[in-house]
Amino acid sequence: MPLVCVCSPKGGVGKTTLAANLAYTLARGGSKVLAIDFDVQNALRLHFGVPLSDGRGFVARSAESPDWSQAILTTGGNIFVLPYGDVSEAQRIEFESNLANDAHFLARGLQTVLNYPGLIIVADFPPGPGPALKAMTDLADLHLVVMLADTASLSLLPQIENEKMIGGALNHKAGHFFVLNQSDSRRNISRDVTAFMQQRLGDRLLGVVNRDESVAEANASQQSIFDFSQVSAAAFDIELVGKRVAALLDIKVGDGELQAPLTSR
């Protein structure tokens, strides 16, 4: 049950996009992958063909049922989605307070999926610290911290390096790694920040993903970057990140057939 968390001190850096496409990459090896959304924006599902009008999710249900697996949506492939869902402000506050105050709340909610043999879990988080990210510390195997190739991301690097994001290590297993997203070699600042991050982070930098219009277009058509444009620079970069994550976690990723476009049922 490898569990990968995608997080960042910053918003709008591509966490959800990378989480979704990482799930697609890992699923291409034949593994079952569960994509879980811990962000109230509830946007992860939109990468998997779940209609905008479908507000189902585990947060609203978490009050009724301690087992969140009942809120899993199938996508027609070997990817499964656990959306946050459309919730009221009161439901969000209650969920966050349960995460913060009940040490077993998260493990109980995920118990069934954590025990599912061979299931890979990719969890997407809201920006910055938060009760979900903190509660995940003991369950997560690896964190991917997404940054942009810009100076704002650079200024936030010490937060991660000094374990300031949640006041300690993000996990106690494989540790945390970085992905630099939206790198653009035509822009001086992007080139400079990319070079600096490469030098500063070394092996901790798992990959650099090019800024590529196909990424947003793939999302708009609710497809993976691989189905939308297999030959795009971003598809290449994201696949490499996926392979490195798989290697770190000892997950088998085949070079198998691309999955057919997924539609939710």
Q: Which is nearer to ligand ADP, 5 or 215 (CB)?
A: 215
* Residue 234, binding choice from Mg ion, ligand ADP, none, Cβ under 5 to 8 Å by partner class: ligand ADP
Instruction: Compute the least distance from the CB of residue 208 to ligand ADP, in Å.
Output: 10
Q: Which is nearer to Mg ion, 124 or 212 (CB)?
A: 124
Q: Which is nearer to ligand ADP, 153 or 182 (CB)?
A: 182
Q: What tokens appear for 159 in the block?
A: 């937060």
Using CB under 5 A, list all residues that contact Mg ion: 15-16
**Distance of alpha carbon 57 from alpha carbon 71, whole angstroms:** 6
Nearest residue to 87 via CA among 46, 53, 132, 56: 56
Residue 36 φ/ψ, nearest 5 degrees = -110, 135
Q: Which is nearer to ligand ADP, 12 or 51 (CB)?
A: 12
Per the listing, tokens 């959800």 go with 16
* Residue 61, binding choice from Mg ion, ligand ADP, none, Cβ under 5 to 8 Å by partner class: none
Using CB under 6 A, list all residues that contact ligand ADP: 8, 11-17, 181-182, 209, 211-212, 215-216, 219, 234
User: Angle of helix 15-27 relative to helix 213-220, nearest 10 degrees?
Assistant: 80
* Residue 182, binding choice from Mg ion, ligand ADP, none, Cβ under 5 to 8 Å by partner class: ligand ADP
Per the listing, tokens 């990140």 go with 241
* Residue 14, binding choice from ligand ADP, Mg ion, none, Cβ under 5 to 8 Å by partner class: ligand ADP
Nearest residue to 75 via CA among 203, 232, 222, 215: 222
**Distance of alpha carbon 173 from alpha carbon 241, whole angstroms:** 18
Q: Which is nearer to ligand ADP, 105 or 125 (CB)?
A: 125
10 Å CB burial of residue 255 (0-12, 13-18, 19+) is exposed
* Residue 118, binding choice from Mg ion, ligand ADP, none, Cβ under 5 to 8 Å by partner class: none
**Distance of alpha carbon 240 from alpha carbon 179, whole angstroms:** 11
Instruction: Compute the least distance from the CB of residue 41 to ligand ADP, in Å.
Output: 7
* Residue 219, binding choice from ligand ADP, Mg ion, none, Cβ under 5 to 8 Å by partner class: ligand ADP
Q: Which is nearer to ligand ADP, 16 or 62 (CB)?
A: 16
Q: Does an H or E element contain 177, and which?
A: strand 176-183
